[in-house]
Amino acid sequence: MKIYRIHALICAGGQCISAGGNDFEAALRVEIEKHGLEDEVQIVETGCMGACEMGPMMVVYPEGTLYINLQPENAKEIVEEHFLKGRKVQRFMWQKEDGHFPTLNEVPFFALQTKIVLRNCGIINPENIDEYIAYDGYTGLGKAVGEMTPQEVVKEIEDSGLRGRGGAGFPTGLKWKLTAQAQGDQKYVVCNADEGDPGAYMDRSVLEGDPHTLIEGMAIAGYAVGANQGFIYCRAEYPLAIKRLQKAIQQAKMAGLLGKNILGTDFSFQLSIRIGAGAFVCGEETALLSSIEGKRGEPRKKPPYPATSGLFGLPTLINNVETFANIPVIVSKGSSFFNAIGKEGCRGTKVFSLAGHVNTTGLIEVPLGISMKEIIYDIGGGIPGGKVFKGALIGGPSGGVIPSSQLDVPIDYEHLNTLGAIMGSGGLIVMDESSCMVDIAKFFLQFTVDESCGKCTPCREGTRQMYEILDRITQGEGVPGDIEKLESLGKVIQDTSLCGLGQSAPNPVLSSIRWFRDEYLAHIEKKECPAGVCTMKKTTTTKEEPRRGRKKAST
Amino acid sequence: MAKISSLEELRKIRNDAKESMKTRSGNAKVRVFASMGTVGIAGGAREALKAMIDELEKRNFHDVEIVEGGSMGLDKEEPIIRIERDGFETTYGKVTPDMARQIVAQHIINGQMISEWVIARNEK
């Protein structure tokens, strides 16, 4: 076997590539060749390392040296000094305020995280199945099919306390049990990889950085519920994720870890990818299943739930990427390992994409029950430019705002609900004093107005009415009573919409009214935007047409 | 990759794959430190190190971490290679490629230091 004295791990996640990571890698290869070090240095393209703010980045082992914000012209110096002579190039390294150069594990951004879902992201080469296997990959599947009955696997998941990571937090073990008990000769396992929340990329990082964990999780699910066919529904906007998944499926088939008679047992499992054409509503499970069937991606009434009547009317287990990524660890290490992380009722970790006004943006994985304060100040490094924290929007366009007075509240499904927010899939946008809450609410509502599929009236018409009121308010044309109107409309939309998209669409508006009512009042009564974001017109002018120039709803 | 037909086979592949990634784990059994100052390189440190890696590969020994560093100041003895194993730091001087290969076979793999070439030894 080949020995490389240096393993140079270059982040090949979406962000680092957009920031020019490929150019640096190409330059590095040229320099390595020039100095005849091909046999001594192994370049490994990994998935997202998480600290996207610092990209393009590279970690050099055995010491774990962390190079950040790399440009192609830096390659020469790194090869000549570090790779050839062992002298680290400090000016490209991540430096703490005290002048100390920490290794990867000492940077607070990484040190304070607990990684289960992202355990391999940024550590292994996602296109090499051997590296996944080296980090205990497929031992969960091996243990399940070789040493456990399907009922025991379901029991293990139930005992772990894992809840669905797609947003609603339904107990995963229960869902598996219901699907396993459903009557039917043919069953399916479906993975929801249609991640559409603006600014959220948790699932993409798993798909790009560790595709085999999803394949393993789905195969275990297939064994547990009695399905021999799986589908991954991934959005077309994730070309790199799809490419790596295809490659991973191919490798798993070659290795006999997918296909007929897995690991020499009677269990067989096929897996294929379906590519979504970019409708946000297809992230809703019933709409997603319609889309796989080749129909228009529209949600339908529940019940019946997919567990009894899902894909093609047959029993179907549907979970999202992050949920499946937890499964191999739970099976191989046991439910008690998983159960020790997090808190009562909310076991395990959650991945968040930390964005907005925070010093270190990126992808983080933390135990459930951690406070927002720890995420923003300890891991994220606080608010830049000495500004003051105002609120954090958690849960994407269907989420709610958490104000500074609630920063100590633990992040779990129940507490977030009482605050009017949701866990959602894990988008977390931090806002400082320069953000206008009315404007933010309007921004996210516009997203749902655009993405509403139009099947049910409350969502199609109601969100548009709310948007128009907000639009008036932000232009200085708000009238007394607007706030109450928004509240009652929002309540009706939440109560009567057909699917989760509509039911959660008013959340950003309602929660921002709850915590920042004064700001709404300032817009309406004083015709002032306290943050100075909205351009308030004193005189009445023509209204701005919402995006895409769609036909206006009847008034 | 050939088909894996049992759990035992999977475990075996895992153990092999783990070995080749030892460098990233930070807990290798043996640590090799090679002095790569200008004098060291001029004195043939690169050739000695290359021979060492080649010999490790031939003998399929992966439980090792290779680190380079600057000059120790002892130019007279360059190329210098230090082996950290079993709680001792052993420093060899004037290492030629042939000596490097023998150090791999006797010291790195089997833990028997080659006394006549040692210039310093201390507990870690």
> Structure pTM?
0.90
What number of C-beta contacts closer than 8 Å exist between A and B? Answer: 107
In a domain, B44, yes or no: yes
Which member of B2, B7, B53 has the closest CB to residue A142? B7
Question: Which residue in B20, B30, B78 has the most chain A C-beta atoms within 10 A of its own C-beta, making it the best mutation to test that interface?
Answer: B20
Residue B75: per-residue pLDDT: 82
The confidence band for A258, taking pLDDT boundaries of 50, 70 and 90, is very high
Return the number of other C-beta atoms located less than 10 Å from residue A73's C-beta: 10
Q: How sure is the predictor about A548, in pLDDT bands with cuts at 50, 70 and 90? A: low
In B, which residues are within 8 Å of A58 by CB distance? Answer: none
Choose, out of A2, A5, A39, the residue to mutate when testing the contact with B (most B CBs < 10 Å). A5
Bridge-partner residues for A7, per DSSP?
A42, A61
User: What CATH number was assigned to the domain covering residues A437-525?
Assistant: 1.20.1440.230
CA-based nearest residue in chain B for residue A2 = B57
Q: Could you give the CA distance from residue A425 to residue A395 in angstroms, rounded to a whole number?
A: 6
Q: What are phi and psi of A45, to 5 degrees?
A: -85, 120
Look at A133 and B23 and tell me if their CB atoms are within 8 Å: no
Is residue B18 situated within a structural domain?
no
How close, in Å, is residue B73 to chain A by CA atoms?
Answer: 15
User: B77 CA to chain A: closest CA distance, Å?
Assistant: 18
Scanning B44-83 for CB atoms below 8 A from A yields 49-50, 53, 56-57, 60, 62, 64-70
User: Closest Cα of chain A to B123: distance in Å?
Assistant: 22
Say whether A85 and B67 touch across the interface (CB within 8 A): no
Please state the separation of Cα A477 from the chain's center in Å.
37
**Number of domains comprising chain B:** 1
CATH for A346-432 is 3.10.20.600
Q: For chain A, say whether B27 makes contact (Cβ under 8 Å).
A: no
Residues of chain B with C-beta less than 8 angstroms from the C-beta of A133: 10, 13-14, 17
Across the interface, whether the CB atoms of B67 and A86 are under 8 A apart is answered: yes
Q: Inter-chain contact A1–B2, Cβ cutoff 8 Å?
A: no
Asked, for residue B21, whether it belongs to a domain, the answer is no
Answer whether A553 touches B (CB < 8 Å).
Answer: no
Domain that holds residue B63: 28-123
Q: pLDDT per residue over A501-537, tens digit each?
A: 999 999 999 999 999 999 999 999 999 999 999 998 7
pLDDT band at A293 (very low <50, low <70, confident <90, very high): very high
Q: Residue A197 forms beta bridges with which residues?
A: none
**What topology is assigned to A129-339 in CATH?**
Rossmann fold (3.40.50)
Distance CA B18, CA A129 (A): 12
C-alpha distance from B20 to closest chain A C-alpha (Å): 7
**B5 within a domain of the structure (yes/no):** no
CA A392 to chain centre: 16
Residues facing A355 on adjacent strands: A429
Q: How confident is the model at residue A552 (pLDDT cuts 50, 70, 90)?
A: very low
Which chain B residues are within 8 Å of A136, Cβ to Cβ?
14
* CA distance linking residue B110 with residue A83, whole number of Å: 28
CB distance A487 to A513 below 8 Å = yes
Q: What is the pLDDT along chain B (124 residues), one digit of tens a residue?
A: 788 988 899 999 998 888 888 878 777 889 899 988 888 888 889 999 999 999 999 888 888 889 888 777 888 889 999 999 888 899 999 999 999 999 999 999 988 889 899 988 888 7
The answer to whether residue A553 scores a pLDDT higher than 80 is no
B56 in any annotated domain:
yes
Residues of A with Cβ-Cβ distance to B21 under 8 angstroms: 7, 131, 134
User: What interface predicted TM-score (ipTM) does this complex get?
Assistant: 0.83
In a domain, B2, yes or no: no
Q: B17 lies in a domain?
A: no
Indicate which CATH number applies to the domain containing B100.
3.40.30.10
* Domain segments of chain A as ranges: 6-111, 129-339, 346-432, 437-525
CATH 3.40.30.10: does it fit domain A6-111?
yes
Contact assessment for residue A133 and residue A213, using Cβ atoms and an 8 Å cutoff: no
Structure token pair of residue B54: 């080649």
E-only strand ranges, A277-330: 316-320
The answer, for B23 touching chain A at a CB cutoff of 8 Å, is: yes
Q: Which residues of B26-65 are buried (b: 16+ CB within 10 A; e: fewer)?
A: eebbbbbbbbbbebbbebbbbebbbbbbbbbbeeebbebb
